[in-house]
Structure 1
Amino acid sequence: MNVDIGERLKEERGRLEMNQTQFAAIAGVGKTTQINYESGNRLPDAGYLAALAKIGLDVQYVVTGVRSSVALTPDERELVERFRAAPLSVKSAAIGALSAGANPPTSSKFSIDFGQATIGQNNTVSGGKHKFSVTTPSKKK
């Protein structure tokens, strides 16, 4: 049981992109104590967990193994706080900016009903229902 908690604690530390020394300092313990928690030799106390919850530790997950739907990383928490405080016009702009930055699907299929359309140069399609498959270039990483 302690080992499971220790493994999940280590996993959360990794998710929050911190090393053992950083994590221990935030929680107010030494690195050796952090190592003991992660190895399952000791169980963390409530004060330790509360301190780390302030930086986004999913305490529910560490203790029970069930992810909390509200666990946020520090940058996500800041984004939510700023979003909630923003006027509606800023919220709309933020949603638009985030939507525009999302990766579009690389392929879309659709059908349309039209009289006549020109696709490209000198390519005319007339009447009826036509199915199209559009492929967009993938973003290179």
Structure 2
Amino acid sequence: MFDDKDSWSDFCSSQTILIKKLLISLGVGERLREERERLGKNQTDFGVSAGVSRGTQKAYELESSSPDVRYLSGLQELGVDVHYVLTGSRVDTNLNNLSEVESAVLGSMRQMSEADRNVLLRTASAFASAAALDELKSPN
């Protein structure tokens, strides 16, 4: 809170720091470092490849600064799992792991018009939401 003992610039600076920290999800810096190391790059090369300096890359990994969308897009082009960096969970994009039913649904979906695919997406989302609610309601 601002009081008479603080200067306005000190107050604004402290609020800016707080806002920046709120923008950073816990673990993003660590996961960013993991992805950088997985790709075999040092902070300088990784940062430059994604359009930032080594200092900015270090700040992202230390979670003292938040990456922006341009940086994250650059990471995507480098082969970084941006979803993992931001959320901590990996998405299985290997289509060889699809079940028979998943393959059939995907095959059928690819034959539909865009409008029908959108209806299917809304329907699937509704079923998934209902299933999640049922799971919450059911006793363990």
Higher relative contact order (CA 8 A, sep 6+): 2
Using the size of structure 2 for normalisation, the TM-score is 0.48
Quick check: which one's helix share is greater?
2
Using the size of structure 1 for normalisation, the TM-score is 0.47
Quick check: which one's strand share is greater?
1
The structure that has the greater radius of gyration is 1
